[in-house]
Structure 1
Amino acid sequence: MAKSKPPVFIGLDLGGTDLKYGLVNSDGKILISKKIRAKISEGQKVLVEQLRAATRELLSIAAEKKWRALRIGIGSPGAVNFETGKVVGNSPNIPGWEGVNLKNSLRISGIPTFADNDANCVALAELIFGAAKNSKSALCVTIGTGIGGGLVLDGKVYRGSSYSAGEIGHTALVFEGKPCACGNRGCLEKYASVSALMENASKQGFDSVRALTDAAKGGDTAAAALIAEQAAYLGAGLASAVNLVNPEKMILGGGFVDVYPPFLKLVEEEIRKRVFPAALLKLQVVKAKLGNEAGLVGAAFLGSK
């Protein structure tokens, strides 16, 4: 009897700077992973073709290794209609992206294809394999260039009535505050993202995240104060989300959480200071388990849960 081909799943994680793509097995382990610069500045058609080329490359690798590709999934910035695969809300990070149908663009060889918001993919990966596993409710927040959020309710990723649930980074934190690329003012990510932190840090001579965090770890009070201020803003914004949703878990991810471990505790302290007491009874504030690969893994498992 011929040996059956091991199943694999294709995942693409499109960000505002890079495109990560790879092959993932049934246990959520990444077998093949690649990262290239996303051709965002070259326009919608060029970027779509780049996504198609990456998909074809992965299909070719799977065929060479005698693996059976069962699904194709992509996570993208912006609001994405999960049923149709169409980008229905633009992302400040990818101008002109609204209207592209990712599901149709990547449908190759009859393989089931799915598309979703990138933060929802992170939430899905954490739900299946990570910190949200066995949780009925969780808010997964990724802190990076911006702030992305994916919401788990009743053990499933909740996308909202028009596929824009979880946009925690664009909740208004400061009335008439700093202008945001989304068109609003005072958005949380203008105060609590890594970009916002480094905008302030650069004015005090810190030219990189590593330089800032190393200084803070070494006892530099100015560096520590900058990070504490960012944590306070983030905690204040997330406290409102906790009051609204009352989740079991608040899951924080992103490279900054990894390079500066005290950050998680600082944010949790701010959340607990500001949240309605009843909402704290079951709340756990925890670190994301899957790190920077969560988006790719979640994309590969779109359609599974």
Structure 2
Amino acid sequence: MKTAIGIDLGGTNVKGILVNEAGEILKQHYVATQDDTEGHWRENVLEMVTYLRNYWQAPIDAIGLSAPGLPDAHNSCISFLPNRLLGLAHFDWSAYFGQRTYVLNDAHAALMAEAQFGAAKGCQNVILLTLGTGVGGGILIQGKLYQGLSQMAGHLGHLSLHATDDEVSIVGAPGSLEYAIGNYSVQKRSKGKFDSTWALVEAYRQGDPWASLVWLTSVQKLAVALSSLVNALSPELIVLAGGITLSDDALFEPLHQFMSLYEWRPGGKQTPIVQAQFGDMAGAIGAAGFALSH
């Protein structure tokens, strides 16, 4: 059975896994990223790959790497990532590891993990959104990752929900979904009362009126965005990933109620919305799966 190494290069940690084509995780490992001006993070990634190779002591069939930014057209490197991980853009991972390495955007990798081994296994047309500090996403069409021109597809957090809002996302979208529900904007959205989504949701669970208004407004906007995506792409499944989904019923119960108001359901058709199966190793698992599929 074929095996692959999957690496998820994040700002805090490098996460690595050894996985086979059945999706069984044979080994996992973490090292600190060291995102500094000296580029020590590259050495830490190599340390991770060396560790997993030595553990397996047999040829590795594929290597995949998940990272923030936009990959090139051949998924061989990250071609665009400003202001983070100095030296990542255009870095030749295949030469560095001495083996062909496939590079994916981190949210795209999370989608591939769910599509190949997780909640969306067996599905052909899927949308995934990662709800965390910001909002990312990925799109699966006819069983294949859709990356689009310049590999920009799937930046679903930058959907504009209100064109006249003053708040503009990092790509220039006014009134974005990312601002509406991302953890980075909670303090501003709650007018300084809450400094995290966790605190906001806990207050909502306790019946706090202001917390309820802020949180349910965010979930309502998520439902509007998902309904728009259903209208545009007609997926068979929507997967929600990321830390905000750990709100569980506080998220999914009102979301399903709002979807019943906004989703177009011809003939009673309803798009299932499920929680992602994989947690913080999703990027590494998806990168490995993508590499194995190629």
Does TM, normalized by the shorter one, top 0.5? Answer: yes
State the AA in 2 paired with 1:176: T
Q: CA deviation at 1:12?
A: 2.1
Deviation at 1:73, TM superposition (A): 1.5
Q: C-alpha distance in 2, partners of 1:55/1:116?
A: 17
TM-score, normalised relative to structure 1: 0.84
Does the Cα contact within 8 Å between 1:20 and 1:296 map onto a contact in 2? Answer: no
| Aligned counterparts, 1:289-304, within 5 A | 289-304=277-292
Q: Contact 1:197–1:227 (CA<8 Å) still a contact in 2?
A: no
Query: Which of 88, 113, 118 is equivalent to 1:130?
Result: 118
* Bigger Cα displacement from structure 2, 161-170 vs 65-74: 65-74
Mapped partners of 1:279, 1:140: distance in 2 = 24
Q: Is the 8 A contact 2:201 2:250 kept in 1?
A: no
| Structure 1 unaligned spans of 5+ | 1-5
For the pair 1:56 / 2:47, whether they are aligned, the reply is yes
Q: Which residue of 2 aligns with 1:75?
A: 66
Distance of 2:25 and 2:48 partners within structure 1: 19
Is 1:187 the counterpart of 2:167 in the alignment? no
Moved more, 213-222 or 251-260: 213-222
Q: Which amino acid aligns with 1:76?
A: A
What SS does structure 2 have at the residue aligned with 1:25?
Answer: strand
% same residue: 24
CA distance in 2, matches of 1:241, 1:145: 21
Q: Which residue of structure 2 aligns with residue 33 of structure 1?
A: 29
2:57 is matched with: 66
Shift of 1:300: 2.0
Q: Distance in 1 between matches of 2:5 and 2:270?
A: 36
TM-aligned CA distance change 1:28 to 1:157, over 3 Å: farther
Residue 108 of structure 2: aligned partner: 120
Instruction: Report the CA distance shift for 1:64/1:131 in structure 2 as closer, same or farther (over 3 A).
Output: closer
Structure 2 CA distance for partners of 1:95 and 1:185, relative to 1, 3 Å:
farther
Q: 1:266 aligns with which of 251, 254, 266?
A: 254
* Residue range with higher mean Cα deviation, 78-87 or 231-240: 78-87
Name which of 197, 201, 208 aligns with 2:186: 197
CA drift of 1:202 comes to 6.3
Aligned 8 A contact 1:136 1:152 in 2: yes
State the alpha-carbon separation in 1 of the partners of residues 135 and 243 from structure 2.
12
Q: CA RMSD in A?
A: 2.7
TM-score (norm. length: structure 2): 0.86
Q: Which amino acid aligns with 2:180?
A: Y
In structure 2, runs of 5+ residues without a counterpart are none
* Aligned residue pairs, count: 290
Tell me, yes or no, if structure 1 residue 9 matches structure 2 residue 4: yes
